[in-house]
Chain A
Amino acid sequence: MATKEPELIRMGQHSQGAFRWPDAPDPDKYSVCVHCGFCLEVCPTYQEWTDENHSPRGRVYLIKAASEGELPLDENVINPVFTCLDCRACETVCPSGVQVGALIEEARGQVYHARPKQGVAGALERLFLRGIFPHPKRLRRVAKLMRFYQTSGLRTAIRKTGAIRVLPRHLREMEAVLPEVPAEGAREALPGRMPAQGVRKGAAALFTGCVMDVFFADVNEATARVLARNGLEVRVPKEQICCGALQVHAGDREQARAMAKHNIDVFLASGVDYIVINAAGCGAALKEYPELFRDDPVWHARAEQFSAKVRDISELLVEVGFDPPRAEVRRRVTYHDACHLCHAQKIRQQPRQLLRAIPGLELVEMPDSDRCCGSAGIYNLTHPQMAGELLERKMDDVPEGVDAIVMGNPGCMLQIKVGVHRRQRQADVLHTVELLDEAYRREGVKG
């Protein structure tokens, strides 16, 4: 069919719409929505609020209406665009293949231009998104400050004196469960190159991530060990920076593009076969780098080249074949599907395969394991009420009698730690790869 004609028409509509900045929501993405409504029931925000404005179908419709000039870019469009968890549950069910997540992110980019955030909140957001996260050294300094707070006795003092009460409940709880920040992250602690053990299956560069490396550096170290154990030479490029997912979620696409370019340069130069990530949110963002360069053919091509190498740790291990551990880890665990693993990257079976391969480990499935836990990047900080409700539901679903809740994303790990704390449950919150690593390490002990 003639494709030229509609394009021209679209361009015309587009220029009169509410999205006046480059990199606007793509008409080819929203026109795919056939308004069938199949996405309603899986959307956590619709489930809670039952208002179609806060459903995938509604959000896509509002974005389309704003794009075509039917609605102004005001609160009625902006709110639904920002209440979205970006969990992508809608994309899993959508028969028509609407990229709801990408549309939401593009729309947020427009809001970022149209409505720069004012006041303290805006300044803080800019400080973190532009001033701290993109700069590993500054991020490290903040981390050190936190470590000082946690280990110097200051934390105890603040808790004892009750000064902690100035924080709202959700931040107080978050503070309570934050793991102790290690003295240095894996990016610094790990050697730049670790040789493969056994038959060599290729070279993998480890993407250490920011949240992961501040709070869960040991997960990164476990990842490196597990890779090497399975025949992968591990590199840890020291110049890498945060992936930019937080910036994309907030609509700061310009900053995100700058960070993406930096990482693409660093990792492509390293000449590895794979770029490995153990944080689902970052993994999805890295795989979606090309989306940021729709208007830039040169960088788009480089981004494609980069993304083609990106693998989640569980995905890579299953792809290249992993050694089933021989030692036992006697535990009863349940698995939570991080949204950005199961919905955004369609990775469901691989982590389960790894867990099932561990002798002695019993995996008990939880119902609706792929429903968002409410963490969703920094959603739990920006929309604490919604995030809290989702966390309650998630905790209700954790089966009785498990001693660990396992997942593949640091954001979820922090969130579910809050849940465990709230319910006073005796359960560890672990990354999949930590259990696998433990099994391998026990082999060594037994000799």
Chain B
Amino acid sequence: MNQEALVRALTEIVGPRRILHRPGQLAAYECDGYVAQKGRPRAVVFPETTEEVSRIVRLLHRERIPFVPRGAGTGLSGGATPLHDEVVISLVRMNKLLSVDYENMRAIVQPGHVNLTLSKRLGPQGYYYAPDPSSQSVCTIGGNLAENAGGAHCLKYGVTTNHIVAAEVVMPNGDVVEIGAEFGEAVGYDLLGLIVGSEGTLGIATAITVRILKKPQAVRTVMAMFDRVADASDTVSHIIASGIVPAAIEMMDQLAMQAVDKSNYHVGYPRDIEAVLLIEVDGLEAGLPELADRIIAICREHRARSVKLAESDAERALWWSSRKMAFGATGRISPDYIVQDGVIPRTKLTEILARIAELSEESGLRIANVFHAGDGNLHPLICYDARIPGQTEKAVAVGSAILRACVDVGGSITGEHGVGVEKLEEMRYLFSDADLEAQLAIRAVFNPEDLCNPGKLIPRPGRCAEVRDAHWLAAKHAEIAAGFPDQTLTTSPGAGA
């Protein structure tokens, strides 16, 4: 089917105003929040109903044209990035709250419904939707489902998969199926578990039933500043070991603090501390002050320079904004950045930070660090300047090396941002060819021709895993060589950079 015929057929489904197809209109859809790889889509369509999604997918399936679902495009691993001339199916117009059942604590939303908007709408009745990715003011619940998004408060409440109970899904051939169960456990295979976190490779969610929670009666938020990261890290372990279940424990390092302090979300962190912890407890008012006191005491025992309790909602909100805006604020200190998403056993934090500092020094790229410290999910922010030739590749390679280090200490390559296209190669750090084959076999059941978000999440087995490292070596090599007047000089890769 040529472009003209395709546009005609899609227009028949969604009408002329809900399709973009001229080349100049497509640039804005070249990538998501991960900008290191880009591709122009064939077209972008904006369906408004499940039926329209189904008809679009049926058409594309019949014509063997690849497609990629897209929510708000805040993904950080390129999940919504079209790299194979796909049609982008944007779900942002499907943003309705379909129904709420307060008594049974369920809400049904369309996939384009924005995460925070749901909590805002439930708020007046005293309810909210718990998963709170930092991007919650813009990201969609469909995107959350696809990435199994986490957030600061997932330490206590669990990630997206714990909050989605059922979904209506348009399969890669256009069939519409219902999976999961609004109440109780679904009988049969846990298909919902499979779909959540599948990064849009097993189908498109068109209606999502979520669990909603009663807002906690009270909250206490503590901010503690530390001269040394190791002390902050020990504090985290001690709090958890003491049996307290905080709603959230977040950490930022000095460079991250500098970035947010330069943004609209200025807190005014001292310039000579190594780490700040943001610790929150919530629940019934009774007992909460004592809990906060215990946390403050533990911080002090671990040589916190200062510990403060949020005195007002406004202060608490500012502290949280400061943490949640940290990624974006990195733009204040660097033109580009890659945010990595490694997971480690919590006790290895100090060790891994030292390794990250080493990598930063070796590569000459600054790295800021932000963590969901409670569950050992690190977000190193690798700063680079894409306009300097070779820096993008170098930043990608440093990210990869950090993930390798995470795996080496017994961790994993993603906590919540997904694999997308960014971490395809790193999947091999975790899985053997046989493991990957097994996963591909599952995908083949749902998406046999790999038309639905092709090439994402699972790498093809067998390709050389060291490709990226080789790239970095080559870049490093070139730089060293460039330092010498004689370009023919060969340097051994081991020589210091």
- State the A residues within 8 Å of B (CB): 1, 5-6, 9-10, 31-38, 40-41, 50-53, 55, 57-58, 61-62, 65, 70-72, 74-77, 92-98
A–B Cβ pairs within 8 angstroms, 26 of them: A9-B388, A31-B335, A31-B387, A34-B33, A34-B35, A34-B337, A36-B33, A37-B72, A41-B137, A52-B28, A52-B29, A53-B20, A55-B28, A61-B27, A62-B28, A71-B24, A74-B24, A92-B264, A94-B328, A95-B263, A95-B264, A95-B326, A95-B328, A95-B329, A95-B331, A97-B262
Interface residues on B, range: 35 or more
Q: A6-B388, A32-B335 are in contact. Are A37 and B138 (CB under 8 A)?
A: yes
B385 A62 Cβ-Cβ under 8 A:
no
A34 B330 Cβ-Cβ under 8 A:
yes
B138 A76 Cβ-Cβ under 8 A:
no
A10 B337 Cβ-Cβ under 8 A:
no
In the complex, A75→B25 CA distance in Å? 9
Residue of B nearest to A10 (CB): B387
Does B336 touch A at the CB level, under 8 Å?
Answer: yes
B73 A37 Cβ-Cβ under 8 A:
yes
Does B93 touch A at the CB level, under 8 Å?
Answer: yes
Interfacial chain B residues near A92, Cβ < 8 Å: 264
For A31, A62, A65, which residue has the most chain B Cβ atoms within 10 angstroms? Answer: A31
In the complex, A31→B330 CA distance in Å? 12
B 35-75 to A, binary, CB cutoff 8 A, 1 in contact else 0: 10000000000100000000000000000000000001110
Taking the closest CB of chain B, its distance from the CB of A278, in whole angstroms, is 25
Interfacial chain A residues near B340, Cβ < 8 Å: none
Does B332 touch A at the CB level, under 8 Å?
Answer: yes
A38 B138 Cβ-Cβ under 8 A:
yes
Q: A58-B28, A76-B25 are in contact. Are A98 and B331 (CB under 8 A)?
A: yes
CB contact list, B91-107 vs A, under 8 A: 92-93
In the complex, A181→B262 CA distance in Å? 46
Taking the closest CB of chain A, its distance from the CB of B399, in whole angstroms, is 15
Taking the closest CB of chain B, its distance from the CB of A373, in whole angstroms, is 21
Residue of A nearest to B35 (CB): A35
- State the B residues within 8 Å of A (CB): 20, 22-25, 27-33, 35, 46, 72-74, 90, 92-93, 114, 117, 135, 137-139, 260, 262-265, 325-332, 335-337, 385, 387-388
In the complex, A263→B225 CA distance in Å? 49
Q: A94-B264, A95-B331 are in contact. Are A37 and B24 (CB under 8 A)?
A: no
Give 9 nearest A-B pairs by CB, closest first.
Answer: A96-B331, A76-B24, A95-B328, A95-B325, A58-B28, A34-B331, A52-B28, A36-B328, A95-B329
A38 B114 Cβ-Cβ under 8 A:
no
Residue of A nearest to B114 (CB): A41
Contact of A53 among B25, B138, B262, B388 (CB under 8 A): B25
Interfacial chain A residues near B138, Cβ < 8 Å: 37-38, 40-41
Interfacial chain B residues near A40, Cβ < 8 Å: 72, 138
Residue of B nearest to A13 (CB): B387
Taking the closest CB of chain A, its distance from the CB of B163, in whole angstroms, is 21
- B interface, over-half SS: loop
Interfacial chain A residues near B31, Cβ < 8 Å: 35
Interfacial chain B residues near A34, Cβ < 8 Å: 33, 35, 327-328, 330-331, 336-337
Q: A35-B35, A95-B265 are in contact. Are A62 and B27 (CB under 8 A)?
A: yes
Residue of A nearest to B71 (CB): A37
Taking the closest CB of chain A, its distance from the CB of B82, in whole angstroms, is 13
In the complex, A5→B391 CA distance in Å? 13
Interfacial chain A residues near B32, Cβ < 8 Å: 35, 37
In the complex, A5→B331 CA distance in Å? 19
Interfacial chain B residues near A96, Cβ < 8 Å: 263, 328-332
Taking the closest CB of chain A, its distance from the CB of B333, in whole angstroms, is 10
Residue of A nearest to B92 (CB): A50
B264 A50 Cβ-Cβ under 8 A:
no
Taking the closest CB of chain B, its distance from the CB of A390, in whole angstroms, is 18
A33 B331 Cβ-Cβ under 8 A:
yes
Interfacial chain B residues near A76, Cβ < 8 Å: 22-25, 27
Contact of A38 among B20, B28, B135 (CB under 8 A): B135
Contact of A65 among B27, B262, B327, B330 (CB under 8 A): B27
What 9 additional pairs, Cβ within 8 angstroms, besides A95-B327, A95-B332? A35-B31, A35-B35, A36-B327, A38-B328, A40-B138, A70-B27, A71-B27, A95-B329, A97-B331
Interfacial chain B residues near A36, Cβ < 8 Å: 33, 74, 135, 327-328, 331
Interfacial chain A residues near B260, Cβ < 8 Å: 95
B137 A38 Cβ-Cβ under 8 A:
yes
Interfacial chain B residues near A1, Cβ < 8 Å: 385
Contact of B74 among A10, A32, A37 (CB under 8 A): A37
Taking the closest CB of chain B, its distance from the CB of A138, in whole angstroms, is 40
Taking the closest CB of chain B, its distance from the CB of A221, in whole angstroms, is 36
Residue of A nearest to B29 (CB): A52
B331 A53 Cβ-Cβ under 8 A:
no
Contact of A50 among B27, B46, B387 (CB under 8 A): B46
Taking the closest CB of chain B, its distance from the CB of A349, in whole angstroms, is 12
In the complex, A78→B216 CA distance in Å? 48
Q: A5-B388, A6-B387 are in contact. Are A97 and B24 (CB under 8 A)?
A: no
In the complex, A9→B328 CA distance in Å? 25
Interfacial chain B residues near A57, Cβ < 8 Å: 28
Interfacial chain A residues near B90, Cβ < 8 Å: 50
Taking the closest CB of chain A, its distance from the CB of B415, in whole angstroms, is 18
Interfacial chain A residues near B388, Cβ < 8 Å: 5-6, 9
Taking the closest CB of chain A, its distance from the CB of B249, in whole angstroms, is 22
A6 B262 Cβ-Cβ under 8 A:
no
In the complex, A96→B336 CA distance in Å? 11
Interfacial chain A residues near B22, Cβ < 8 Å: 76
Interfacial chain A residues near B24, Cβ < 8 Å: 71-72, 74-77
Residue of A nearest to B330 (CB): A34
Taking the closest CB of chain A, its distance from the CB of B312, in whole angstroms, is 15
Taking the closest CB of chain B, its distance from the CB of A63, in whole angstroms, is 11
Residue of A nearest to B364 (CB): A1
Taking the closest CB of chain A, its distance from the CB of B142, in whole angstroms, is 14
Contact of B93 among A50, A94, A97 (CB under 8 A): A50
Interfacial chain B residues near A62, Cβ < 8 Å: 27-28
For B20, B28, B117, B332, which residue has the most chain A Cβ atoms within 10 angstroms? Answer: B28
In the complex, A149→B46 CA distance in Å? 48
Residue of B nearest to A30 (CB): B335
Interfacial chain A residues near B73, Cβ < 8 Å: 37, 52
Residue of B nearest to A52 (CB): B28
Residue of B nearest to A98 (CB): B331
Taking the closest CB of chain A, its distance from the CB of B341, in whole angstroms, is 15
Residue of A nearest to B117 (CB): A41
Interfacial chain B residues near A55, Cβ < 8 Å: 28
In the complex, A52→B71 CA distance in Å? 11
In the complex, A33→B334 CA distance in Å? 10
In the complex, A92→B328 CA distance in Å? 13
In the complex, A41→B95 CA distance in Å? 12
A32 B331 Cβ-Cβ under 8 A:
yes
In the complex, A33→B337 CA distance in Å? 11
In the complex, A52→B335 CA distance in Å? 21
In the complex, A92→B265 CA distance in Å? 10
In the complex, A97→B90 CA distance in Å? 27
Contact of A97 among B20, B264, B336, B337 (CB under 8 A): B264
In the complex, A52→B88 CA distance in Å? 12
A97 B137 Cβ-Cβ under 8 A:
no
For B27, B35, B336, which residue has the most chain A Cβ atoms within 10 angstroms? Answer: B27
Taking the closest CB of chain A, its distance from the CB of B120, in whole angstroms, is 10
For A33, A51, A61, which residue has the most chain B Cβ atoms within 10 angstroms? Answer: A51
In the complex, A160→B136 CA distance in Å? 54
In the complex, A10→B389 CA distance in Å? 12
Taking the closest CB of chain B, its distance from the CB of A296, in whole angstroms, is 26
Residue of A nearest to B94 (CB): A50
Q: A61-B27, A62-B27, A70-B27 are in contact. Are A97 and B114 (CB under 8 A)?
A: no
In the complex, A70→B262 CA distance in Å? 31
Interfacial chain B residues near A58, Cβ < 8 Å: 28
In the complex, A135→B387 CA distance in Å? 45
For B24, B117, B388, which residue has the most chain A Cβ atoms within 10 angstroms? Answer: B24
